Amino acid sequence: EVQLVESGGGLVQPGGSLRLSCAASGFTFSSYWMHWVRQAPGKGLVWVSRINSDGSSTSYADSVKGRFTISRDNAKNTLYLQMNSLRAEDTAVYYCARERGYSSGGYYYYGMDVWGQGTTVTVSS
């Protein structure tokens, strides 16, 4: 079964750090680009970060750039999100998601086709 399982969430004080993990199983993890997406309580989905299949290329939302770092360990089939200088507005459920690519008419489209169940991060004093 294709599965993503997040862990590492919890309560942290403003200015603190947390590292989230996302364990992948049931597919060849090293072949896929991966994402982190978050959702504040009662709010919509917000993309956080993306990493390519070998970890050599990353991108971030402006709101987390310079504070968050995405990485992966393909030998361990695990995706990470290191979160530093946390703020109250970082409080959210964090999902990891697999990117699935589709080629059509010479163009590359992609969507997030497999998602974890999410892990909750609460930033509060």
Indicate the residue among 19 and 109 with the shorter CB distance to other proteins: 109
| Min separation Cβ 14 and other proteins, Å | 25
DSSP string, 80-112: EEEE-S--GGG-EEEEEEEEEEEEETTEEEEEE
What tokens were used for 65?
Answer: 């750039």
Binding to other proteins, residues 80-109 (CB under 8 A): 95, 100, 102, 104, 107, 109
Does position 62 interact with other proteins (CB under 8 A)? The reply is: yes
CB 74 within 8 A of CB 10: no
Sequence letter at residue 121: V
What tokens were used for 104?
Answer: 């059509």
Distance CA 92, CA 41 (A): 6
Indicate the residue among 15 and 111 with the shorter CB distance to other proteins: 111
Does position 17 interact with other proteins (CB under 8 A)? The reply is: no
Q: List residues binding other proteins (CB under 8 A).
A: 35, 37, 44-47, 50, 59, 61-62, 95, 100, 102, 104, 107, 109-113, 115-118
